Amino acid sequence: MWNTRGQETTPPLDIPLKLSGTFGEFRATHFHAGLDIKTQGKEGFEVRAIKAGSLKRINVSISGYGKCLYIQHADGTTSVYAHLQKFAPKIEAYIKQYQYEKEQFTIQRYLKLNELTLEEGEVIGVSGNTGGSEGPHLHFEIRDTKSSNPLNPLQLNFDIEDSIRPVIQGMYMYSIFRDKASQKTPITLNKENDSTYVADLQHLGGTFGLGVRLFDRQDLSYNRNGIYNATLKINGTTRFSYTFDRIDFKDGKKIDALIDYATYKEERIRIQKLFRNLGVGYSFLPKDAPNGYLVFEEGHSYQVELMVEDYAHNKTYVSFYVEGAPYERPSPLPPNSDSLSPYKDYLFTHGPYEVYLPKETFYAPVKLNLSAVNDTLFIEDTKQAQRKGFTLEVKIPEGLDSLQLQQLCLAKTNPRAKKDDNPLQYVWTSKKDSLLKTTAAYTGTYLITKDSLPPSIEPLNFVDEQWMSNYTHLKMGIDDDFSGIQSYRATINGQWIRMEYEPKDKTLIYDFDDIDFKKAKLDLRIEVKDNVGNTSVYETSIFRKP
């Protein structure tokens, strides 16, 4: 924790700060690295620098953080402001010049120290919904400048009203077997008072782990957010504990090991494990920390206590007693030749497919069934957490002409596709040495297919030969039915123009103020390419007074 005592910090927004996401909360693929601050369901609020500093980095992306600014401060921290609609004028002018130099809209620019300085409270941009945002909000982070690791922004003492205790939705006891597999049993909780849940006496023998479903809220927000601290004790001794003061981005790659992954896959319910049975560490939970196992011996009595806490120190407790019951001590298991060891590499060939699983693809031994029928490969979903992707290669059929070869790709079935959606998902595919290849494969059903349709391009706010002197923007719609947009390029009178791409509404927008063309006739050309190389070109002429 860095020292913020006695410091006054300007909030990034002038409106009351209401949170839709907290630091460290469990997300589908990562631990949340900052605060999601609500913007009343709309865009356009001024965003301010929380402290004086030097603009360190400007990022413009159609995914991830979208339009994002990084400001380095003298106290060794860097503040991050993501999903912005636009930047402040001096920052916008700086990055626009760079985009025109590189002839590229999506761009990342690192600045020298003090190349562009900002005062505390200075407006640096406007809140928006760019990148991977699913609704208007400001994603705000504080990072340790030296390590780039995220720190909990609530340590800045922003004025966020919070008098609500965390809520326990459910609790489960997991039997830990000799092969480290587990089986869960729900524990019925009764609310004793405003802060405490209790359960009936449990009769258990052997080794167990505890799992919980829980969330936290603040006074002015109904979003279900993550907690700050969890501590599990047995007979007064801490067996598991974490506190979200800081995290490492590498932690997110192992998030599936800290939830009941099978239940999440089958029921879309996230149960957080308060034990580690998969042998991995986290920056907030080192390998040498207690693993959370609760061992109940026959003839002994135990008190199990759980405390969960939010950053405002609102606490919720769970307490129950366990009488140790008889159980059969497990004997060592003989090696299982049917299981894949997580510590070995494997190479499988099925039909035209070759599957390479590097060591540590999975956390624990797993039985993985693979089979192929014609052009389709079936890799059984084991419901076990997969630590990383594996490599999938398939031989390209012979006798294809150059166009057929270009359009060939891999796809994966989409089990959650709606009735009118494509039942297949494009899988990023490279072609080399007569092979189709993808390097981030996960369990599922794969097949060889093709994308033969080029992207679509259409004008949205004009028609051919139209006079547009009174227009501020030129707006186009672009879309692709399968593999997705890979790149686009737009020119007027042969000169590259900066068209902003927004995938969520499938638009390209050009601001006429960018360039003062000397001719009234503007010859517009837009070329759009999808991920397999299908290309569409749109050409027209419009008119505008110089």
User: What pLDDT shows up at residue 197?
Assistant: 96
Instruction: Identify the band that residue 178 occupies on the pLDDT scale cut at 50, 70 and 90.
Output: low
Q: In this structure, is residue 270 part of a structural domain?
A: yes
C-alpha distances (whole Å) from 431 to each of 249, 486, 533 are 31, 16, 12
Query: Among residues 408, 432, 450, which one ends one of the domains?
Result: 450
Instruction: Please report whether residue 161 resides in a domain.
Output: no
Instruction: Give the pLDDT band (50/70/90) at residue 180.
Output: low
Q: Are residues 84 and 219 in the same domain?
A: no
Say if residue 193 is in the same domain as residue 310: yes
* Averaged pLDDT of the chain: 93
Type of residue numbered 421: D
The answer, yes or no, to whether residue 414 has pLDDT greater than 90, is: no
Q: Given pLDDT bands bounded at 50, 70 and 90, which one contains residue 112? A: very high
Mean pLDDT of 116-121: 97
Mean pLDDT in residue range 10-17: 96
Residues 200 and 278 in one domain: yes
Residues 446 and 460 placed together within one structural domain of the fold: no
Q: Is 156 helix (H, G, I), strand (E, B) or coil?
A: helix
| Arithmetic mean of pLDDT, 70-83 | 97
pLDDT at position 338: 75
337: confidence class by pLDDT, cuts 50, 70, 90: low
pLDDT at 325: 93
Residue 337 is assigned to a structural domain of this protein: no
| Residues 296 and 214 both lie in one domain | yes
**Mean pLDDT, residues 52-80 taken together:** 97
Tell me if 12 is assigned to some domain: no
When pLDDT is averaged across residues 491-507 and rounded to a whole number, the result is: 96
Helix (H, G, I), strand (E, B) or coil at 266: helix
Asked whether residue 441 falls in the same domain as residue 476, the answer is: no
Confidence of residue 287 (pLDDT cuts 50, 70, 90): confident
Does 99 share its domain with 207? no
Angstrom distance (rounded) from CA 27 to CA 11: 25
- What pLDDT, on the 0 to 100 scale, is given for residue 19? 96
DSSP code at position 421? S
pLDDT for res 54: 98
Phi, psi dihedral angles at 116 (to 5 degrees): -145, 110
Contact between 230 and 128 (Cβ < 8 Å): no
Percent of the chain with pLDDT over 90: 84
Q: Are 145 and 213 within one domain?
A: no
- pLDDT band at 433, cuts 50/70/90? confident
Those residues whose C-beta lies under 8 Å from the C-beta of residue 125, and which sit 6 or more positions away, are 46, 47, 67, 69, 81, 84, 85, 86, 87, 88, 91
Domain that holds residue 475: 456-543
Residue 300 pLDDT more than 80?
Answer: yes
Judged against a pLDDT cut of 50, whether residue 5 lies above it is answered with no
Q: Establish if 425 belongs to a structural domain.
A: yes
Instruction: Look at residue 49 and tell me whether its pLDDT is greater than 60.
Output: yes
Nearest to 358 by CA among 341, 350, 346, 370: 346
Question: What values do phi and psi take at 262, rounded to 5?
Answer: -60, -45
Do 35 and 140 sit in the same domain of this protein? yes
Nearest one of 419, 357, 426 to 393, comparing CA atoms: 357
Q: Domain ends where: 156, 189, 206? A: 156
Phi and psi at residue 90, to the nearest 5°: -70, -30
Band of the pLDDT at 382, cuts 50, 70, 90?
confident
Q: What is the average pLDDT across 112-130? A: 97
| pLDDT at residue 451 is higher than 70 | yes
Q: What are phi and psi of 453, to 5 degrees?
A: -100, 130
Q: Would you say residue 179 has pLDDT above 70?
A: no
| pLDDT for residue 333 is more than 60 | no
Q: pLDDT digits over 14-39, tens only?
A: 999 999 999 999 999 999 999 999 99
The answer, yes or no, to whether residue 187 has pLDDT greater than 80, is yes
* Distance between CA atoms of residues 279 and 48, nearest Å: 43
Same domain as 118, residue 192: no
Confidence band of 375 (pLDDT split at 50, 70, 90): confident
Residue 25 lies in a domain: yes
Choosing from 156, 185, 211, the residue where a domain stops is 156
Whether 506 is covered by a domain: the verdict is yes
Q: Where are the alpha helices (DSSP H) in 75-184?
A: 89-102
Quick one: average pLDDT of 82-103? 97
Q: What is the predicted pLDDT for the residue at 253?
A: 92
Please give the DSSP secondary-structure letter assigned to residue 486. Answer: E
Determine, yes or no, domain membership for 500. Answer: yes
> Residue 135 maps to which CATH number?
2.70.70.10
What's the CATH number where 511 sits?
A: 2.60.40.10
**Long-range own/partner contacts, residues 330-339 (CB < 8 A, 24 or more apart):** 330/177, 330/178, 331/178, 332/178, 333/178, 333/179, 336/365, 338/367, 339/365, 339/366, 339/367
How much is the average pLDDT of 324-343?
Answer: 76
Query: Same domain, yes or no, for 462 and 421?
Result: no
Q: What is the mean pLDDT of residues 157-166?
A: 95
pLDDT digits (tens, 9 = 90+) for 217-227: 999 998 999 99
Q: What is the structure's pLDDT at 288?
A: 86
The reply to whether 355 and 422 lie within a common domain is yes
Please count the structural domains in the chain. Answer: 4
Q: What integer pLDDT is reported at residue 11 of this predicted model?
A: 96
378 to 180, 340, 370, 414: CA distances (angstroms)? 26, 17, 6, 13
pLDDT of residue 176: 86
Which range, of 8-12, 72-76, 247-251, averages the lowest pLDDT?
8-12
| CA–CA gap between residue 133 and residue 66 (Å, rounded) | 8
